[in-house]
């Protein structure tokens, strides 16, 4: 784990980054569940497919510092482009889940020459009034599990059994998620901006996702020129946790075909 220090809009920022293995570079962006929600998938890509997987912790998650002025998804996208520049990485595949997928879309809109491909998995961000994103902040953790997974009992968290430190981390992550995404987890301008993306893009979505309905997957795919859409039948909102092998296969196939 490495701490990188940046200055963004005259604001000092400390960014915690985990870097796995060597090989073709992947930037893996977590969602509201924090970096733990992508750690197993990062190890899978690194160990089985020999990718260099870079996993930043969005500032404010898991107790990391977040400057008061760092509050938007666009801020995070610019920060991660700065990270890729600092690491001097070429032809990066950016993968993001949920909040991370929204960030990945914003990175693609920046058209940075270091980004070769983008994978958007069950992303937040789109304002579709007919099929809105579930109100995460009004749900219990049991309700979140029921809406997020095909097999929710395998991923259900017994909050009463968790130590105080873990409970504090979950609460802090929840507050940080709301800071970046707002209560609705949408940007009303995003859908109209997506056609400007020129980076090869793969949209993946777990069919069982009831946190962010499948209509959002179709909207992302229809709006981004040339985007490919893949539905994962045995996954919900976190396919990297529920069907990691399937998601990895789609990513590696796309990695090669878009190269």
Please report where in the chains the tokens 């693609």 appear, as a residue: 108
Within its chain, how far is the Cα of 94 from the centroid? 9
pLDDT tens, position by position, 82-95: 999 999 999 999 99
Lowest pLDDT segment from 97-101, 145-149, 159-163: 159-163
pLDDT, mean over the chain: 96
pLDDT at 111: 80
Continuous segment of H or E residues that includes residue 116: strand 115-121
Assigned architecture for domain 2-257? 3-Layer(aba) Sandwich (3.40)
As a whole number of Å, the end-to-end CA separation of the chain is 29
pLDDT band at 259 (very low <50, low <70, confident <90, very high): very low
Give residue limits of the domains in the chain. Answer: 2-257
pLDDT tens, position by position, 27-82: 999 999 999 999 999 999 999 999 999 999 999 999 999 999 999 999 999 999 99
């Amino acid at each position: 784990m490495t701490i990188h220090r940046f200055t963004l809009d005259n604001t000092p920022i400390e960014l915690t980054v985990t870097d796995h293995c060597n090989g073709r570079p992947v930037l893996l962006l977590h969602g509201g569940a924090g970096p733990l929600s992508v750690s197993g998938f990062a190890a899978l890509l690194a160990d089985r497919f020999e990718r260099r997987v870079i996993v930043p912790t969005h500032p404010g998650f898991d107790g990391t510092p977040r400057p008061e002025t760092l509050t938007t998804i666009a801020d995070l996208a610019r920060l991660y482009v700065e990270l890729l520049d600092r690491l001097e990485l070429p032809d990066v595949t950016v993968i993001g889940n949920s909040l991370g997928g929204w960030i990945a879309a914003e990175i693609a809109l920046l058209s940075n020459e270091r980004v070769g491909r983008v994978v958007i998995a069950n992303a937040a961000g789109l304002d579709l009034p007919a099929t809105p994103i579930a109100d995460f902040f009004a749900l219990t953790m049991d309700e979140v599990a029921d809406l997020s997974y095909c097999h929710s009992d395998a991923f259900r968290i017994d909050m009463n059994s968790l130590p105080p430190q873990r409970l504090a981390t979950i609460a802090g992550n929840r507050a940080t998620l709301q800071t970046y995404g707002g209560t609705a987890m949408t940007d009303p301008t995003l859908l109209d901006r997506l056609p400007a993306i020129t980076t090869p893009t793969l949209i993946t979505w777990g069919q069982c996702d009831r946190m962010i309905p499948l209509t959002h997957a179709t909207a992302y795919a229809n709006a981004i020129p040339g985007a490919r859409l893949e539905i994962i039948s045995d996954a919900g909102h976190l396919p990297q946790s529920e069907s990691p092998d399937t998601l990895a296969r789609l990513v590696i196939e796309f990695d090669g075909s878009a190269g």
